[in-house]
Amino acid sequence: MKNRAETSGIEQKSAPPAGGQGFVRLEGVSKRFGDVVALHEATLDVRRGEILTLLGPSGGGKTTLLNLVAGFLLPDSGAIHIAGQPVTEVPPYRREIGVLFQNYALFPHMSVAANVAYGLRMRRLPRPEIARKVAETLALVRLVGLENRTPRQLSGGQQQRVALARALAISPKVLLLDEPFSALDKNLRGSMQLELKEIQRKLGVTTIFVTHDQSEALSLSDRIVVLSEGRIRQVGTPGEIYRRPTERFVASFVGDVNVLRARLEEVDGEAAQIAIGAAKLAVPAGTLRGCAPGAPVELFIRPEQLRLAETGDETACEGVVSAHSYQGGHVDLHLASEAAVSGRILMRWPGTEAIARWPVGTRIAVACAGTEAVAFPASPS
Amino acid sequence: MPRRPFLRAFVSPAALCAIAFVAAMAAVLQFSVRAYIPGSLDPGGFTLVNFAALLKPLYGRVFLDTVWICFITAVCTLVIGYPVAYALVRAKGAFLKSAMLIVVVTPLFLGEVVRTYSWIVVLGNNGFVNTVLLKLGMIERPLQLMFTSFGVVLALVHVTLPVMVIMLAAALSHIDPDYERAAESLGAGPIRAFLSVTLPLSTPGIVAGVTTAFAWTFSAFATPQLIGGGQVNMVSNLVYQLGFASFNFPFAASLSVVGLVLAFGMIALLRAGLRPLEAVGPQ
């Protein structure tokens, strides 16, 4: 293993995002707590330099997966590799990982500088080098001048920067972030997310990020792993996850979605023809295996993929406006419709004109604006 | 006090207790400056002769022994109690936790006399320890465990341990386990993580525990009386002898007063000595 003391500075790890494959590698990793399966046969490659987000509802297994990579938990079966080394049995203090905890876990009895220096002291680096790296890392997170404060004297955002600096100072092979933004207020969260992404790009450190916030996952990640009930549901870029979910759970967990009753017309290779009302739509056939033509299916379509049917349009369905909700940049139009499985359809309208044009009670026809949608076999109900 | 209608009602029992304590202390203080009339339970006129008599080396020795025994007991209790408290706090599972807590607290449930007698059964010449060692052939003659400061300290540690463990556990339970995980993720092995993070963060508990253990032991009576058997004397034993064997109440009172002052002085000294440690812990 490379001696950390010889590496120079914290910028030496710059690697192009999505360089080699499987910088962190999980092979069939399972973990149970008593009777509860926290993680089932997880196989995953984290590419060098990427931000990979573990997204899912609480209890989905994302924190378990993170703790397994960190070494805080040992898997019941399976193997974990970091940078080509098997680390399944390696304790956390020899894994060279940086962890940003949800509550930051800054040492309250140490100054900011001592917190950041902690990992370097544990590596027994010479004093001048520790001082240099601490200064460098604090500059990176823009905390110069606060070296001698204690964590208690800092704001939430500053505490998070210290925690990030402490994790980065040791030039970790992998940076693990456990819901780091959940304690911050909304405005600060946004700017910290941007800053984190910038720093991550600058250092090129492979990052695994846990969140249950789907918009955070979409905006921050190179790739997203969606987990639920201890299983990996889908791995893909934010665009793939949002636009081409391969599982019903993924489609409904990430982003707003309308579920409309439709019918399978025919399957032609990789594409399937879906009929909804008078409209026809091509969707990926992969999610409809085992469905015969004519079978009822459920069409998952995003609000922005729907629009008002104009003359000449093929109407997909009809609905009655039941509520408007003004969102600043756009208006959410809620329709009551029998075509939707939940009885409700959500449409987006830029500006505010929608409120005046279609008052509550107006019956409107809906058409599909794009072809971006997925379909799943109708759930037995 | 219109906004705190129950304040008076709730404070009055405490006030009554305080008045009773102050009255008792005043009586002791008053006795300590009265002359002893041999053969009479009533004290004579005001005098400082009792305090002058305390300057004899015999009494100085008892004070020194008391402080020493308290100190050793506090240190031993800390060393034994810390791992127990740590295990208690970090143990997973409610059953294991309660089981440990019950075992730890049991010494407090036994009366002082019962507990001390059971130590006599263990430490005596025909007691458990000596019998076992003799049967195993590890010793030829019984070890002298009774009537030694070792025996006294052992029994005192036993009764002080619950207090120490509870105070340390209270302090340790406020330390987020994520601190240790953070330390480990940064390259600290379990021992270094403990020494650099958990131990310093628990110093308020250590200071409180040691101070309380010290005060707790300083007032010990039955344990040194029965296990020390006159060979190991602490301040309270001397007070008892003077008061109830010699019926020299004024002298016993002056000894009590000096003992009390000494106890306060030692605790103040202890706190001052531990203050640098406390500055390390969280505010």
> Helix, strand, coil proportions of chain A in percent (round to 5)?
30, 35, 40
> Helix, strand, coil proportions of chain B in percent (round to 5)?
75, 0, 25
* Distance in angstroms (rounded) separating the CA atoms of residues A264 and A250: 21
Q: Which amino acid belongs to residue A22? A: G
Q: Which of B167-176, B177-186, B238-247, B273-282 has the lowest mean pLDDT?
A: B273-282
Strands A51-55 and A223-228: parallel
Are the CB atoms for B250 and B41 separated by under 8 Å?
Answer: no
Closest by Cα among B205, B214, B219, B199 to B268: B214
Structure tokens at B106: 């049991």
* Distance in angstroms (rounded) separating the CA atoms of residues A268 and A259: 23
* Contact at CB, A152 and B179, closer than 8 angstroms: no
**Domain co-membership, A165 together with A290:** no
* Distance in angstroms (rounded) separating the CA atoms of residues B206 and B208: 5
**Domain co-membership, A131 together with A261:** no
| CATH at B83 | 1.10.3720.10
**B186, B196, B199: best to mutate for the A interface, most A CBs within 10 A:** B186
What pLDDT is stored for residue B280 in this prediction? 55
**Domain co-membership, A167 together with A241:** yes
Which residue segment(s) compose the domain that B71 sits in? 56-278
Q: Is residue B106 part of a domain?
A: yes
* Contact at CB, A118 and B196, closer than 8 angstroms: yes
**B185, B206, B283: best to mutate for the A interface, most A CBs within 10 A:** B185
* Distance in angstroms (rounded) separating the CA atoms of residues A250 and B139: 75
Summarised one tens digit per residue, pLDDT across range B70-92 is 999 999 999 999 999 999 999 98
Q: Is the pLDDT reported for residue A281 higher than 50?
A: yes
Q: Is the pLDDT reported for residue A204 higher than 90?
A: yes
* Contact at CB, B185 and A123, closer than 8 angstroms: no
Q: Which residues of A touch B (CB under 8 A)?
A: 70-72, 91-99, 101, 103, 105-109, 118-119, 122-123, 152, 166-167, 170, 176
Residues 6+ apart with CB under 8 A from A193: A181, A216, A219, A220
Q: How far is CA A114 from CA A130, B112, B184, in A?
A: 10, 48, 16
Q: Structural domain tally of chain A?
A: 2
**Domain co-membership, A337 together with A243:** no
Q: How far is CA A316 from the centre of its chain?
A: 32
Q: Is residue B128 part of a domain?
A: yes
Residue A22: CA atoms inside 13 Å, Cβ hemisphere, count?
Answer: 11
Torsion angles phi and psi, residue A109, rounded to 5: -95, 10
* Contact at CB, A107 and B182, closer than 8 angstroms: yes
Mean pLDDT along residues B38-60: 85
All residues of chain B having their beta carbon less than 8 Å from the beta carbon of residue A94 are 187
Q: How far is CA B57 from the centre of its chain?
A: 25
* Distance in angstroms (rounded) separating the CA atoms of residues A45 and A63: 17
* Distance in angstroms (rounded) separating the CA atoms of residues B195 and B184: 12
All residues of chain B having their beta carbon less than 8 Å from the beta carbon of residue A99 are 181-182, 185
Å between A167 CA and nearest CA of chain B: 7
Confidence of residue A11 (pLDDT cuts 50, 70, 90): very low
Q: Is residue B74 part of a domain?
A: yes
All residues of chain A having their beta carbon less than 8 Å from the beta carbon of residue B184 are 71-72, 91-93
All residues of chain B having their beta carbon less than 8 Å from the beta carbon of residue A122 are 183, 186-188, 192
Among B178, B186, B189, whose Cβ lies nearest the Cβ of A119?
Answer: B186
Q: Is residue B233 part of a domain?
A: yes
Q: Is the pLDDT reported for residue A291 higher than 90?
A: no
Among A72, A152, A166, whose Cβ lies nearest the Cβ of B283?
Answer: A152
**Domain co-membership, A178 together with A71:** yes
Mean pLDDT along residues A332-339: 91
Are the CB atoms for B281 and B202 separated by under 8 Å?
Answer: yes
Q: Is residue B78 part of a domain?
A: yes
* Contact at CB, B188 and A122, closer than 8 angstroms: yes
**Domain co-membership, A186 together with A236:** yes
**Domain co-membership, A242 together with A272:** no
**Domain co-membership, A235 together with A295:** no
CB atoms within 10 A of CB B264: 12
* Contact at CB, B189 and A91, closer than 8 angstroms: yes
**Domain co-membership, A169 together with A119:** yes
Mean pLDDT along residues B45-51: 87
Q: Is residue B132 part of a domain?
A: yes
* Contact at CB, B185 and A97, closer than 8 angstroms: yes
Among A97, A105, A109, whose Cβ lies nearest the Cβ of B176?
Answer: A105
- Inter-chain Cβ pairs, chain A and chain B, closer than 8 A: 72
Closest by Cα among A26, A30, A33 to A77: A30
**Domain co-membership, A308 together with A260:** yes
Q: Which residues of B touch A (CB under 8 A)?
A: 176, 178-179, 181-190, 192-193, 196-197, 200-201, 280-283
* Contact at CB, A107 and B181, closer than 8 angstroms: no
Which residue segment(s) compose the domain that A12 sits in? 4-248
Please give the angle made by the CA atoms of A290, A294 and A297, to the nearest 5 degrees: 65
Summarised one tens digit per residue, pLDDT across range A42-69 is 999 999 999 999 999 988 899 999 999 9
- For chain B, state the CA radius of gyration: 23
| CATH at A307 | 2.40.50.140
Residues 6+ apart with CB under 8 A from A180: A100, A101, A102, A160, A163, A164, A192, A196, A209
* Contact at CB, A109 and B181, closer than 8 angstroms: no
* Contact at CB, B283 and A98, closer than 8 angstroms: no
**Alpha helices, DSSP H only, in B110-245?**
112-123, 128-135, 149-172, 177-185, 190-193, 199-201, 203-218, 222-223, 235-240
Q: Which amino acid belongs to residue B122? A: V
What pLDDT is stored for residue B2 in this prediction? 59
Q: Can you tell me the ipTM of this complex?
A: 0.82
Confidence of residue B279 (pLDDT cuts 50, 70, 90): low
All residues of chain A having their beta carbon less than 8 Å from the beta carbon of residue B188 are 93, 118, 122
* Distance in angstroms (rounded) separating the CA atoms of residues A260 and A338: 9
All residues of chain B having their beta carbon less than 8 Å from the beta carbon of residue A93 are 184-190, 193
Summarised one tens digit per residue, pLDDT across range B119-131 is 999 998 888 999 9
Are the CB atoms for A167 and A137 separated by under 8 Å?
Answer: no
Are the CB atoms for A48 and A206 separated by under 8 Å?
Answer: yes
The residue out of A248, A283, A303 marking a domain boundary is A248
Summarised one tens digit per residue, pLDDT across range A147-177 is 999 999 999 899 999 999 999 999 999 999 9
Confidence of residue A381 (pLDDT cuts 50, 70, 90): low
All residues of chain A having their beta carbon less than 8 Å from the beta carbon of residue B281 are 109
Summarised one tens digit per residue, pLDDT across range B7-31 is 888 999 999 999 999 999 999 999 9
Whole-number average pLDDT of chain B: 89
Among B179, B184, B200, whose Cβ lies nearest the Cβ of A93?
Answer: B184
Q: How far is CA B94 from CA A335, A351, B100, in A?
A: 51, 57, 10
Sheet holding A85-86, edge to edge: A36-46, A24-33, A77-82, A85-86
Q: Is residue B154 part of a domain?
A: yes
**Strand intervals (E) in chain A:** 24-33, 36-46, 51-55, 77-82, 85-86, 97-100, 174-178, 206-211, 223-228, 231-236, 258-268, 271-276, 279-284, 296-301, 306-308, 317-326, 330-336, 344-350, 363-368, 373-377
Mean pLDDT along residues A253-262: 91
Structure tokens at B227: 């296990």
**Domain co-membership, A311 together with A239:** no
User: Greater confidence, B195 or A351?
Assistant: B195
**Domain co-membership, A30 together with A128:** yes
Mean pLDDT along residues A270-276: 89
Summarised one tens digit per residue, pLDDT across range A84-140 is 999 999 999 999 999 999 999 999 999 999 999 999 999 999 999 999 999 999 999
The residue out of A215, A248, A281 marking a domain boundary is A248
Are the CB atoms for B44 and B56 separated by under 8 Å?
Answer: no
Q: Is residue B49 part of a domain?
A: no
Å between A230 CA and nearest CA of chain B: 23
Q: Structural domain tally of chain B?
A: 1
Closest by Cα among B15, B53, B5 to B32: B53
| CATH at A96 | 3.40.50.300
Q: Is the pLDDT reported for residue A19 higher than 70?
A: no
The residue out of A248, A282, A303 marking a domain boundary is A248
Q: Is the pLDDT reported for residue A21 higher than 80?
A: no
Are the CB atoms for A56 and A247 separated by under 8 Å?
Answer: no
* Contact at CB, B280 and A109, closer than 8 angstroms: yes
Give the chain B residue whose CA is nearest to the CA of A94.
Answer: B187
